[in-house]
Amino acid sequence: MRTRGIVAALLAAPIAVAALAARGESLAAFGAPDAAAALGTPFDGRCIPAGCVASPSNTPGILGRRALPAGRLARLGATPDFHHELLAGAQQNRLAQVGADAGVGVRLVQGKVYVLTGPGDNDGNVTVQVGTDGVLLVDTQTAELAPRIFAAIRTLSLEPIRWIVNTSARLDHVGGNDALARLGTTPASIGRPRIVAHENVGRRLVGVPSVSRDAWPNDDFFTPDKDFFFNGEAVVVSHMPAAATDGDSIVFFRRSDVISAGDLFTPGRYPAIDLAAGGGVQGAIDALNTILHLTVPAKYQEGGTYVVPGHGRLCDEADVVEYREMVTVVRDRVQDLIRKGSTLEQVKAARPTRDYDAEYAKPGSPLPDTFVEAVFRSLKK
């Protein structure tokens, strides 16, 4: 049964077979010599690249101990004391190479969490947590990118996709739900993946004909938080009301110490506050303050808790502080102009974002006037 599941998963994403070869591994390395022979892959008995050892739980891209019994570990000359930090350096370069082969950027964040980035400048980020329990995704980009995303996931784990968490109802966050749920279902799965989101996400998607019912959340929540335990760590999904929209959430991987922030934090871009979807500038600031309440920096204010934005580069607490200060300053400037009786056109003419435009008015970002108008109308409510 397990062999059939592995073969089915790989046949669903042929790029993953090439990606395994690029890492110096083979399908046979995962305990399926007959299946490997059927695909023309030589059975060489290896499952661990040179210089690495086996994981007691889950080596990304290599099955965990339950698929590699002690006898086989001994035969391979490996020891079960692998730690994720060994992925730094050469292994990170391997991830970059296999991601390039799939047309998707693959980067280890820390712990059991990775980030996948699409090939386009405006494509979003997919957060991936892997382990012996399976695969968890935060956001799924678009249906068109799903095969590439899935191929990149298979370079990290051959386990089924069991959880999908959507941080927003926006199409570049939920568009790949159905496709990745189907691709990630194997004979080892127990039904389709659970798709988690705040109940407002489901309400928004009902009115979007381009999103099928199969892509809707099947495990929504209406409380401030939803938590569960997966791959050896607590995963906490927290609703951030009236922020970019009324359905935004952040996801905190407690042991890995990583936060997936969705569109609540987008370095290098102004916030995309959608008033029609229930968003507001004060809610956006509150959400950033919540993220900062959870983050803890390491030495010299660098590292520590990492934050995966909805779009853009991997960040830490200092980056979120800078972003929060920008949104707060612009809000205060607009608020002051409103108190002086300025109209929307007068506020735009005053250019309250002028000293930030060089950093945040970039391709893919809301225009400065669009951001200012959202702030103005939010404050006038």
Say if 52 falls within a structural domain.
yes
Residue 22 confidence (pLDDT) above 60:
no
Share of the chain above pLDDT 90, in %: 61
Give dist(CA 77, CA 89) in Å, integer.
23
How does pLDDT run across 192-235, given as a tens digit for each residue? 899 999 999 999 999 888 888 888 999 999 999 999 999 999 99
How high does pLDDT run on average in the chain? 80
The whole-angstrom separation of Cα 7 and Cα 30 is 10
Q: What is the mean pLDDT of residues 53-80?
A: 39
Report the CATH number at residue 171: 3.60.15
DSSP state of 59: B
Residue 178 three-state SS: helix
262 falls within a domain: no
Indicate if 105 and 211 belong to the same structural domain.
Answer: yes
**Do 44 and 172 belong to one domain?**
yes
- Does residue 159 belong to any structural domain of this protein? yes
Of 239, 264, 283, the one marking the end of a domain is 239
Of 32-41, 85-94, 125-134, 334-343, the one with minimum mean pLDDT is 32-41
- Compute the residue count for the chain: 381
Q: What percent of the residues of the chain are helix, what percent strand, and what percent coil, each to the nearest 5?
A: 40, 20, 40
167 and 36 in a common domain: yes
Name the more confident of 361 and 80. 361
Residues 186 and 333 in one domain: no
Q: For the chain, what is the domain count? A: 2
- Asked if residue 38 belongs to a domain, the reply is yes
Intra-chain end-to-end CA distance of the chain, in Å: 58
Identify whether 192 is part of a domain.
Answer: yes
Determine how β-strand 315-316 pairs with β-strand 306-309.
antiparallel
Give the span between the Cα atoms of 17 and 7, in whole angstroms: 10
Q: Which of 152, 105, 101, 111 is nearest to 131 (CA)?
A: 111
Per-residue pLDDT at 93 exceeds 90: no
Among the candidates 210, 239, 268, a domain finishes at 239
Domain membership of residue 69 (yes or no) is yes
**Domain check: are 9 and 118 in the same one?**
yes
Q: Kindly state whether residue 72 falls inside one of the protein's structural domains.
A: yes
Residue 341 and residue 219 share a domain = no
- Residues 306-343: tens digit of each pLDDT: 999 999 999 999 999 999 999 999 999 999 999 999 99
Tell me: do 232 and 337 sit in the same domain.
no
Neighbours of 267 (CB within 10 A): 18
E strand residue ranges, 100-198:
105-110, 113-117, 125-131, 134-138, 161-165, 194-198
Please check the confidence at residue 119 and state whether its pLDDT lies above 80.
no
Same domain, 350 and 222: no
Please give the Cα distance from 65 to 339 (Å, whole number).
64
Average pLDDT over residues 174-182: 92
What distance lies between CA 131 and its chain's CA centroid? 15
168 and 69 within one domain: yes
Task: Say if residue 97's pLDDT is above 90.
Answer: no
The pLDDT assigned to 104 comes to 87
Specify the pLDDT at position 96.
Answer: 57
- Residue 38 structure tokens: 């059927």
- Residue 333 shares a structural domain with residue 235: no
- Sign, CA dihedral 176-290-230-72, equals positive
The confidence score (pLDDT) of residue 363 equals: 82
Query: Is residue 84 assigned to a domain?
Result: yes
The domain boundary, picked from 239, 269, 286, lies at: 239
Domain that holds residue 116: 2-239
- Residues 349 and 234 both lie in one domain: no
Give residue 300's pLDDT. 82
